[in-house]
Amino acid sequence: MKVITEPGVLLQSERYFSTPSSLARQLFLYITRCGHYYCDHHYNFLDSCDVGKLESHKTYLLDYIRRGAMEIETDGKSFTAEAGQIALIDCKKPHRFHVPRYAERIWIHFDGREAGAFFEQIIAFHGGRSVFTPYPESRAERDMSDLVTLLKDGIHTEADLSKRIYSLLCNLLIPPRSITADSQDPVALALDYMKQHLFDELSVKEIASVAGLSPSHFSRQFRSQTGFSPHEYIVLHRIDEAKLLLHTTDLSVKEIAFRTGYHSEVNFIASFTRKVGISPSSFRNARFF
């Protein structure tokens, strides 16, 4: 559909709509509208306009800037999204978009199951910023362009669309690459050290030293590449080992606690219950039939 009536949107622009089924609303991530816009300085979108009040607009917006720049006001803050950057906006909150001179944009309004959780985590992983440069490996521009093309051609299922949106959001959250045993990679060095010393006393300072980084820099890099904080990574892998011991040995809960790096049975039980949802004894006694 050619866009010819929206102020500041040039004639070569395109916009497409998608109305989710009740099944998609219940189970999937879905797109309500998307487009590929070429905008000049007349483009000035205010959430108070009629379109801004539509249900299809009161969603989450991913906006990739291919060329030029766009100024954004959201949640009481102002940002400038430049070429190569993404803006992620909660359009249920007050917002405004303005193009100072020129911008080419690929944009997607999405919502659905876990959309809000993805929004919060992606913003948090990018330091609380609504505008950020995507990871080089994320292929965000290509994936967003592909989604617009799918809506344009109309040859897709809602399930396939949901999987593609999910993959896009995952790649914006954590770089889509595997961590190898590259001797020059600090996180790979840290993971190898943590695996060898998983049940010993480990501090972030000690692990960071092995990786050759400061504790704060290491923690940020570790989280950006794995999705975990160093502490959470250690705790979860200790609990995984504890689960195995609970189901495959007759060791007491206290023995398992000390074997997996805890200094007291009480701390182990509290940690296990908090992460798993049931106590170690209940996990051990859970029936498989």
- What does the DSSP assignment read for the chain? -B--SSTTB-TT-EEEE-PPPHHHHHH-EEEEEEEEEEEETT-EEETTSTGGGSTTTSSEEEEEEEEEEEEEEETTEEEEEETT-EEEEETTS-EEEE-SSEEEEEEEEEEETTHHHHHHHHHHHTTT-SEEPPPGGG-HHHHHHHHHHHHHHT---HHHHHHHHHHHHHHHHS-S------TT-HHHHHHHHHHHTTTS---HHHHHHHHTS-HHHHHHHHHHHHSS-HHHHHHHHHHHHHHHHHHH----HHHHHHHTT-S-HHHHHHHHHHHHSS-HHHHHH----
pLDDT averaged per 10 residues, the chain (length 289): 74 91 93 95 91 86 97 92 96 94 97 95 90 87 95 86 95 71 75 89 91 89 82 90 89 94 93 90 78
Q: Which two tokens stand for residue 176?
A: 């889509």
**pLDDT given at position 75:** 84
The CA distance from 30 to 25, in Å, is 8
Domains and CATH numbers, the chain: 14-173 (2.60.120.10), 186-285 (1.10.10.60)
Q: What is the pLDDT of residue 289?
A: 55
Task: State pTM to two decimals.
Answer: 0.74
Question: What are the tokens at 157?
Answer: 């299922």
Q: Which pLDDT value is given to residue 150?
A: 92
